[in-house]
Chains A and B, each alone.
Chain A
Amino acid sequence: MAMVGPKRRKWRNSGTVFGLAMVTPALMVLVFVLLYPAFVALQSSFYRIVTVTRKETFVGLHNYATLLSDPNFWESFQRSLIWSVGAISTQVVVGIAVALVLHKSIGGRSFVRGLVLFPYLVPAIVAVLIWRWIFSDTVGVANWFLVDFLGVSEQPIPWFDPGWVMVSVIIMSLWKYLPYWALFVLARLQTLPPDLIDAAKIDGANAWQRFRHITLPWIMPVVIVLLVLRSIWAFNEFDMVYLPAGGGPLFETTTIPVYIRRIAFEFGDIGHAAAVAVVMLVLVALLTNFYFWVYRRAERRLG
């Protein structure tokens, strides 16, 4: 019979083994689903890899040197920033506004809340097809509404021309992701103690002051978390940016993910595409760190 020493017994009883057993599945998922592909991307970025044949040639830092001196990369980066800031800022403002409306005691509230979720359930391709039709210059209702019905514009708006196309894509994204914001913010709003609002009312605070000093700080932690998540997604977003105009016209919707696709599947170089992806990963990591810094500050202020 094997003897178990006191040290080993102590280690076994301390729950470490159980803890490790519990963590292992998640750790394996992390390693195989996240770390391994990230490692492959990093490794690939040092090679020239022909997309179709997978023929590899080691090129060292050449891919990085090329992309950093490539104006197309920097233009795509700039567009990614415009897209991300545009999409997120509109979503946060309209999302909070819709959540505030849904928080009110209005007739048919449950029905409206269910309805609000609808765009989020629609697949991206369907959402884009709907909006392409709405914005169509020949048969679309958007221009009919603005020009013929409201008369606010004399000329039809060229929704897909450079200068407008990014606005169109941001509107499409707002429609698609608004429910996401509205529902999370609404959930947080419902935990807001009514006493706080009542006390503020008794103290004479107007609606704006109540929103500014009570509601906004209360929902801020959720807003920050959503900002972090949506910013990462927006920066990586491919379908909602690519599908409306295929990266064009004149590359106006070629953000970094669209640019990566172009390098990989038009120029047939997976290695170079991987280098762009790695740089993007670093940029997103920096952005996330910034958000968490803001988040910690918001948490501290809320006490």
Chain B
Amino acid sequence: MLDWRFKKFRQKASAMSLAAVLALISGASSAQDKKIVPFLTAESSPESVQAILELIADFEEQNPDIGIELQLTSNDNRGLRIINSVSVGDELGIFEIERRLVPDFTRAGYLLQLDSIVDEIGIEKFIPGSLLYWPWDGHLYQFTSDLSAGTLYWRKDLFEAAGLAEPDSFERLLEASERLHGKDGVSGNAFEASNKGGVQRFVSFMWQNCGDFYTKEGELAFDRDGTRQAVEDYAALNKYNPSGSHSWGSLDPVNAFAAGRVAMALFPGRLGFQIAKNAPDIAKVTGNREVRVARGGKGPRIVYGAVTSYAIGSTVRHPDAAKKFLKYLFTGEPLLKYAMGVPGHIAPAIKEVQAQMLEQDDPYITGYRDWVETILEATTYFNAEAQNMGSVKENCEYKKSLVPMPWSARVMGQSPVVSTMFQRIALKDVPVAEAYADAVEEHRAQMEAWKAENGWEAPDPNWTPPGME
């Protein structure tokens, strides 16, 4: 009896095992038929992730032979994960590339050339300067998904009540900060000196005062008069921040503004989108304008911003499939859908899609169209410190250089030299001149140390980036 039962059990078990093996084999063969492309992104907003998931599903339906394997990571972990993948020889598919990794990765030959994608679309369709060509060989190794640019948000109600004029110059920013600071728990401004935010807020002051960190030839520019002026001005405004802003995370200025605790903030489009959604009463009394922060509102028209871009690892198993998806995701209708995840914060790099964005029947676009227009316009003149080294000349001439700052991780890593300088001034009462002098030397020392270790050759000075002729 027992023997009979055991035999039956054995037969059933064998049948199930066989079925499982067959299922595995068929699954493996269908997976083998599909070209699987890993896609790593640090996109974190639920709206954008949802948009990406839907777009992947659409793409896979249109291209049944291609499968996209979405991998989500955090901004902090992104670089580490990419470096680890390279170290262990893992396949790097499409990935959002961190700015500081671009020079080393491109030089080491880890990235696939992506010129063909732009050739198919037409370079004239892109916002000039939004495609980051590699100045040393003129090829494209990272494809721009979107742009972001800072604008100034200010509390119109508080300004009007205090009889203050619109903040369109350093003097007006300072006056408003002084007069509004401390009233009803409101701080004058959110131009803070936190590790990350300090650099992002300060650079607009520096560039509009005709200063810069380095020249595009790789020489120090931080010792220019314009930079010194910007340091003095920013330090003066820094006195009117919320007290703990030196340790703020990237979204703390948004939270502070939404909670009605600051009178002014310089931030990309996310701030406007968030307050419209979560703090409509604050949004109603908020103004948004172009950032003008030099004395007398003079100086070149530049604001801080960033290019978010994706690269494809040169070890990718299906390069054509990867390029096809990259082109699909960040052009036309899909790009529009992606950008509408956080409208205004994600600004498409393609002019036509920017125009389509403004025509969308979306509550934020219709309710705050002027804000979105201001932000989109700013994407035509924004600058990014680590992506465009030496774009501002001493004579105030501004042209994006597209020369990445190879030592950016050293001077703008977790504790950027600029932020440390402002923290010393604000928290340790170090005189501005002394903190600035130390920062100048630190910028010089780090640049020289990097050059000594890695070697430096400036790109051809006559090279003009495609699309910017």
Cross-chain contact A139 with B86 (CB below 8 angstroms): no
B215-223, B247-255, B292-300, B356-364 - the one binding chain A: B247-255
Please tell me if the beta carbons of B246 and A248 are within 8 angstroms of each other in the complex.
yes
A52 contacts B247, CB within 8 Å? no
| Given pairs A137-B242, A265-B409, 11 additional interface contacts (CB within 8 A) | A52-B86, A52-B105, A132-B249, A137-B244, A162-B428, A246-B415, A248-B194, A248-B419, A249-B195, A251-B415, A266-B413
Cβ–Cβ contact A52 & B259, under 8 A: no
Does any Cβ of B come within 8 Å of A158's Cβ? yes
Mask of B69-87 contacts with A, CB within 8 angstroms, 1/0: 0000000000110010011
Q: Could you list some 24 contacts between A and B, CB below 8 A?
A: A48-B453, A52-B104, A53-B104, A136-B255, A137-B243, A138-B244, A138-B261, A161-B427, A162-B428, A244-B247, A245-B247, A246-B196, A246-B247, A246-B414, A247-B415, A248-B414, A248-B423, A249-B195, A250-B424, A251-B420, A265-B80, A265-B413, A266-B410, A266-B413
Give the shortest distance, in Å, between A155 (CB) and chain B (any CB): 8
A120 touches B (CB below 8 Å)? no
A residues 78-135 touching B (CB-CB < 8 Å): 132, 135
The reply to whether A262 and B261 form a contact with Cβ atoms under 8 Å apart is no
Q: Judge whether B101 is part of the interface by a CB distance below 8 angstroms.
A: yes
Let me know if A51 is at the binding interface, CB within 8 A: yes
Beta-carbon nearest neighbor of A155 in chain B? B243
Instruction: Write the A257-274 contact mask toward B (1 if CB under 8 angstroms, else 0).
Output: 000011001111000000
Min CB–CB distance A151 → chain B (angstroms): 16
Residue positions of A touching B, CB distance < 8 A: 48, 50-54, 132, 135-139, 156, 158-162, 165, 244-251, 254, 261-262, 265-268
Return the contact of B256 from the options A51, A138, A266 (Cβ within 8 A).
A138
CB-defined contacts of A251 to chain B, threshold 8 Å: 415, 420
Confirm or deny: B308 has a beta carbon within 8 angstroms of a beta carbon on chain A.
no
Residues on B facing A (Cβ under 8 Å): 79-80, 83, 86-87, 101, 104-105, 108, 187, 194-196, 242-247, 249, 252, 255-256, 259, 261-262, 409-410, 413-415, 419-420, 423-424, 427-428, 453-454
Q: Are B415 and A139 in contact (CB under 8 A)?
A: no
| Chain A proximity of B196: nearest CB distance (Å) | 8
Contact B409 A266 (CB under 8 A): yes
Are A138 and B108 in touch, CB under 8 angstroms? no
Distance in Å from the Cβ of B274 to the closest Cβ of chain A?
13
- Chain A positions within 8 Å of B259 at CB level: 138-139
Prevailing SS type, chain B contact patch: helix
Q: How many A-B residue pairs have CB under 8 A?
A: 100
Shortest CB–CB separation between residue B282 and chain A, in angstroms? 13
B455 to chain A, nearest CB (A): 12
Q: Which residues in B have their C-beta under 8 angstroms from that of A262?
A: 413-415
Given contacts A54-B87, A162-B428, A266-B410, contact A248 B256 (CB under 8 A): no
Partner of B244, one of A48, A54, A158: A158
Q: In whole angstroms, how far apart are the Cα atoms of A254 and B195 in the complex?
A: 13
- Whether A265 lies near B195 (C-beta < 8 A) is no
Interchain CB contact (< 8 A) of A161 among B247, B256, B409, B424: B247
Check if A267 sits within 8 Å of B246, measured CB to CB: no
Contacting pair A165 B256 (CB below 8 A)? no
Which listed residue (B196, B246, B256, B454) contacts A160, Cβ 8 A?
Answer: B246
The contact of A138 among B80, B83, B242, B453, by CB within 8 Å, is B242
Q: Nearest-CB distance from A245 to chain B (Å)?
A: 5
Q: Report yes or no: B83 in contact with A161, Cβ–Cβ below 8 A.
A: no
A132, A137, A245, A267: the one within 8 Å of B409 (CB)? A267
Q: Shortest distance in angstroms between B164's beta carbon and chain A's nearest beta carbon?
A: 22
Distance A173 CA – B105 CA, assembled complex (angstroms)? 37
Contacting residues, chain B, for A250 (C-beta < 8 A): 420, 423-424, 427-428
B101 contacts A52, C-beta separation under 8 Å: yes
**Closest residue of chain A to B246, judged by CB?**
A249
Residues of B within 8 A of A137 (CB): 242-245
Q: Which residue of A lies closest to B79 (CB)?
A: A265
Taken together as a complex, chains A and B put the C-alpha atoms of A268 and B98 apart, in Å, by 14
